[in-house]
Amino acid sequence: MPGASDLIPPQAGHLLLSAAEASSAIHAGTLTSEALVSACLERIALREGAVQAWAFVDPELALAQARALDREPPRSWLHGIPIGIKDVIDTCDLPTAYGSPIYQGHRPVADAACVAQIRELGGVILGKTVSTEFATRHPNKTRNPHRLTQTPGGSSSGSAAAVADFMVPLALGTQTSSSVIRPAAYCGVVGYKPGFGLINRAGMKFLAESLDTIGILSRSVTDAGMLAALLSGLPVGRASLKSGKGPRIGLCKTPWWSEASPSVQQSLLQCAERLRKAGATVSEIDLPPEFAELNEVQIRLSSYEFFRALTHERVRHPEKISASLTSRIAAGGRVTRQDYEAAVALMKRCQHWMEDAMSGYELLMAPSAPSEAPDIAGTGEPTFGLMWTLLQMPCMTLPCGLGQAGLPVGVQLIAACGNDIGLCRDAAWAEAVLSGR
């Protein structure tokens, strides 16, 4: 089985470049998009049989995009950079199956808004990355590239694995519970779940309209922040992602601290100490008792919305839906409108409390997942993503070493609603500290 060191090929060349580094080389004329895309395709050919990160790749189509872009002056920072697209986001020239046999071979007539933007900005759509079934918890085929017997997490399984395995420098994911943060932590990459609605969701398969968020998997905070800025219009540049000042950080163990493994607990506390020594102010933050209800509230609210969003599939194709998702949908059908409105009311009360509390902090830090990646039979528990997604706060997970089992562990950083710029800036500072740069 491959370990973390085996993920870096002996003669990786262009594959080791971050998106920002590749962009600089393309703009300087020392690298072509065709060479970068070719290197990614060679890596996929070498490793896809083991990792199984891709739902669909058309090498000639990807190379044709790259060659066309090489004949143009750069359109943006993204020009010539290959990107993987999670297979719940529509693409007009590649199949989009939403991780379900119901839609096998489905060809959307239009790109999702974010995909159309990527093309307009000069990005190369490398292929569609594997999603779990309708971006829920039923696992698909993808393996964790650090250890093939373990899950990459879900639901953005293929996006996290492909970035971790150097198949592509950037990929889009989505998050309803912890579907960007958890797989990024398991695979040892950066996962960015922006504030709710920051990246336009038109053309993605909705599950929970109050929660679904398009996010980014990358190997650096700069790459994630720059792509989000381009897609959202945020005034973020590479210079604004550099800060020498340590932020005020609230160490938030959350009501589920006891569910974190000893490795995860130790890793978070060690990260907090490293950030403190580098200049951050770190103090523990306690949440009111009603926050302990939020994970159950998130499940209740999302299940209510699942039941309605998947009406066509559950009525017309029930035999093609997994037993686990069928059960989740049925549970959603039992949630009354009164229960749903009570869940929304609690969500809003907690949002208001958090808005006031965040006046004393630039960041909160919390676990990204309860443990290192478990075995391939499941996708892991979303415990430490549910609350932050429900509260619609921007979150980012950074790699922070290996746990007791020798697999990656992440630290989750959370900023106030509307403060994605601050999150990217302060996460870049934390990344530099934790990586020893």
Active-site positions read 86, 155, 179
CA distance 215 to 212: 10
Burial 355-368 (b: 16+ CB within 10 A, else e): eebbeebbbbbbbb
- The 3 state secondary structure assigned to 17-66 is CCHHHHHHHHHHCCCCHHHHHHHHHHHHHHHHHHHCCEEEECHHHHHHHH
CA distance 68 to 65: 5
Q: Give CA torsion, residues 183, 207, 54, 24, to 10 deg.
A: -70
Q: Which two tokens stand for residue 196?
A: 């709710």
Q: Which two tokens stand for residue 422?
A: 């601050």
Residue 248 pairs in a beta bridge with: 281
All residues at 6 or more sequence positions from 342 whose CB lies less than 8 Å from its CB, including other chains: none
Q: Which two tokens stand for residue 186?
A: 């398991």
CA distance 285 to 290: 15
If you write DSSP's letter for every residue of 373-402 in order, what string do you get? Answer: --BTTS----HHHHHHHHTT--EEEEEEEE
Burial 126-158 (b: 16+ CB within 10 A, else e): bbbbbbbbbbbbbbbebbbbbbeebbbbbbbbb
